[in-house]
């Protein structure tokens, strides 16, 4: 509700601005937050933020209202398109490129102006800095994420996703509860990279839990790197926070040219407090750093010192170290290993007496030190073995391609077995049928009657084979649904490469965001 005092103030303004302010006031119930320190661009437009930014438009009255709605329309411009508004994080959804500073809001478009001199800047040092969210009203929260512009970004071009590093400086998960009430603040420790200097933009996003909205806040920074200590460290990975359970174990696995078992550190989760997703990475980092094994965990400050952090911790080695990789493994208490098979169809049609099976086996091992081998056999209705194929030892997500020739109509069994060096054995049996007809088409593997890729073949690869070579125009067969998919042209073709067993958002036909990368043929 607009108070009488506020309504009177409208009468002193031009009609268009008064109408805009009234519309914004009506949004108050869902618009509540910005970065207070260092001051966000929108906050510096307001009198409360010092008014250091001028000619900002209506946001000068509503710096807390830069809010992206994860639904189409609503006076907002959407990425990847207005027809594909969605609720993921900044990397896959959100304001359209060029409208990021305004959260996609057409009414706040003045915030999107971008040049090296347009906006007042906050001078800070590289290293660990505190950023403060100010709430004019609270929301249950999913996460906060902070992104920084690339080293070679152009400050005289509109802000796009290509302006920013796509790995967040901070990815702070929350539990869906209310972090703060109206008038209160939360503080976030963000490590400003030591290799940045001069003008950069920091993008802070706050994803709320009780609706599909995200608040956007850009902060214009002048990074004073004049007295920064040259770093002696290389960042080779990260410890990502996730909740664990009492009885779980988390450990490092350290590699040079081979695994170095003597450099392993194990942390046993022996209390509910330690199982918290932000606490155990901090305690693991403390334990690793105290052991002095040639690698460290934490965040790097402006004095080139590594400090353990609550939440995400980077993994560092000194420049010139022979340690090439440190991965984080987990042993989950009371959770048996699992074997699953995906992609096998219930029915196939033989083409000239041949059927091609494409499927994936997935092993979820409860002991990361135990090595598994996976093999597959195909049996006919008489119990005769028709085909056998095995995956390399240690491959927990093998893809199988088995050709059955001289096949007859009938029922068949696929048996997939996973066995480990420690004696674990798991089996999955799946039945399928075959009918024999004439030449009915369907996908033809490259080099087998369809020609080489690009020379009459109906697809170039069976997904995910050849993943590193995918580019705009690449055709793949998805064994899960038997369909072919074409990698989209620039700028979306890069998503076609982004797949692994634990990150399947862009998997053709089944990933949560597959339509951003692929067109079904």
Q: Residue 258: give its domain's CATH number.
A: 3.30.70.2150
Task: Report the C-alpha gap between 487 and 476 in whole angstroms.
Answer: 8
Same domain, 93 and 201: yes
Asked whether the beta carbons of 115 and 155 are under 8 A apart, the reply is yes
- Which whole number is the average pLDDT over 324-348? 87
pLDDT tens-digit readout, 87-135: 889 999 999 999 999 999 999 999 999 999 999 999 999 888 999 999 9
Would you say residue 10 lies in a domain? no
β-strand 214-223 against 122-124: which pairing, if any? parallel
User: Is the model's pLDDT at 25 over the cut of 50?
Assistant: no
User: Is the model's pLDDT at 27 over the cut of 50?
Assistant: no
Last residue of a domain, one of 287, 305, 331: 331
Same domain, 277 and 211: no
pLDDT tens-digit readout, 155-167: 999 999 999 999 8
Same domain, 247 and 195: no
Predicted pLDDT at 438: 52
Predicted pLDDT at 313: 86
Same domain, 110 and 169: yes
Predicted pLDDT at 60: 94
Q: Between residues 346 and 30, which one has the greater pLDDT?
A: 346
CATH number at residue 127: 2.70.50.50
Residue 239 belongs to domain spanning: 233-331
Same domain, 63 and 47: yes
Rg over alpha carbons for the chain, rounded to the nearest Å, is: 27
Task: Report the C-alpha gap between 363 and 50 in whole angstroms.
Answer: 57
Last residue of a domain, one of 197, 223, 249: 223
Same domain, 80 and 170: yes
Task: Report the C-alpha gap between 149 and 421 in whole angstroms.
Answer: 47
Across the chain, what does the average pLDDT equal? 84
Asked whether the beta carbons of 102 and 108 are under 8 A apart, the reply is yes
Would you say residue 285 lies in a domain? yes
Would you say residue 448 lies in a domain? no
The candidate with the shortest Cα–Cα distance to 491, out of 472, 504, 508, 466, is 472
Same domain, 380 and 316: no
Would you say residue 3 lies in a domain? no
Would you say residue 272 lies in a domain? yes
Same domain, 370 and 327: no
Question: Predicted confidence band at 273 (pLDDT cuts at 50, 70, 90)?
Answer: very high
Would you say residue 358 lies in a domain? yes
Asked whether the beta carbons of 114 and 218 are under 8 A apart, the reply is no
Would you say residue 24 lies in a domain? no
Same domain, 54 and 151: yes
Window from 109-118, 172-181, 348-357 with minimum mean pLDDT: 172-181
Predicted pLDDT at 23: 38
Residue 519 phi, psi (nearest 5): -115, 125
- Which whole number is the average pLDDT over 454-463? 67
CATH number at residue 418: 2.60.40.2550
Same domain, 246 and 293: yes
Same domain, 44 and 153: yes
Question: Predicted confidence band at 455 (pLDDT cuts at 50, 70, 90)?
Answer: very low
Last residue of a domain, one of 274, 296, 331: 331
Would you say residue 512 lies in a domain? yes
Q: Is 217 helix (H, G, I), strand (E, B) or coil?
A: strand
Same domain, 54 and 92: yes
Q: How many domains does one find in the chain?
A: 4
């Amino acid at each position: 509700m607009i108070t009488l005092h506020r309504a009177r103030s409208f009468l002193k303004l031009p009609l268009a601005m008064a109408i805009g302010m009234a519309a914004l006031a009506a949004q108050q119930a869902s618009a509540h937050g910005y970065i207070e320190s260092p001051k966000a661009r929108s906050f510096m437009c307001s009198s409360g933020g010092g008014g250091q930014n001028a000619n900002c438009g209506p946001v000068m009255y509503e710096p807390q209202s830069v809010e992206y709605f994860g639904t189409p329309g609503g006076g907002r411009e959407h990425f990847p398109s207005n027809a594909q508004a969605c609720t993921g994080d900044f990397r896959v959804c959100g304001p359209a490129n060029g409208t990021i500073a305004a959260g996609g809001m057409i009414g706040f478009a003045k915030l999107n102006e971008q040049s090296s001199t347009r906006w007042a800047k906050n001078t800070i040092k590289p290293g660990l800095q505190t950023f403060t969210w100010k709430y004019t009203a609270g929301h249950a929260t999913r996460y906060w994420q902070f992104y920084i512009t690339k080293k070679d970004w152009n400050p005289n071009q509109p802000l796009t996703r290509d302006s920013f590093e796509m790995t967040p400086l901070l990815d702070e998960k929350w539990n869906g509860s209310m972090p703060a009430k109206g008038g209160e603040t939360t503080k976030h420790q963000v490590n400003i990279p030591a290799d940045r200097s001069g003008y950069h933009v920091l993008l802070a996003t706050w994803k709320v839990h009780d609706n599909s909205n995200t608040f956007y806040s850009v902060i214009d920074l002048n990074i004073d790197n004049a007295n920064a200590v040259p770093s002696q460290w290389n960042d080779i990975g990260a410890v990502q926070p996730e909740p664990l359970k009492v009885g779980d174990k988390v450990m490092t696995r350290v590699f040079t040219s081979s695994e170095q078992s003597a450099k392993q550190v194990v942390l046993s989760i022996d209390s509910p407090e330690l199982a918290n997703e932000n606490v155990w990475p901090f305690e693991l980092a403390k334990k690793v750093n105290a052991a002095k094994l040639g690698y460290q965990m934490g965040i790097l400050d402006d004095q080139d010192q590594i400090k353990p952090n609550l939440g995400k911790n980077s993994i560092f080695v000194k420049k010139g170290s022979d340690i090439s990789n440190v991965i984080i493994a987990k042993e989950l208490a009371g959770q048996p290993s699992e074997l699953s098979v995906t992609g096998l169809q219930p029915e196939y049609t033989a083409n000239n007496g041949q059927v091609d099976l494409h499927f994936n086996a997935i092993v979820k091992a409860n002991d990361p030190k135990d090595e598994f081998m996976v093999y597959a056999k195909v049996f006919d209705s008489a119990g005769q073995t028709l085909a056998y194929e095995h995956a390399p030892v240690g491959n927990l997500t093998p893809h199988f391609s088995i050709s059955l020739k001289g096949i007859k109509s009938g029922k068949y069994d696929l048996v997939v077995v996973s066995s480990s060096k420690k004696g674990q054995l798991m089996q999955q049996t799946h039945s399928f049928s075959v009918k024999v007809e004439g030449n009915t088409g369907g996908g033809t593997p490259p080099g087998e009657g369809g020609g080489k890729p690009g020379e009459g073949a109906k697809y170039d690869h069976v997904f995910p084979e050849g993943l590193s070579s995918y580019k705009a125009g690449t055709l793949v067969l998805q064994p899960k649904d038997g369909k072919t998919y074409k990698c989209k042209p620039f700028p979306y073709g890069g998503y076609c490469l982004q797949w692994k067993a634990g990150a399947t958002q862009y998997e053709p036909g089944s990933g949560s965001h597959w339509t951003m990368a692929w067109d079904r043929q």
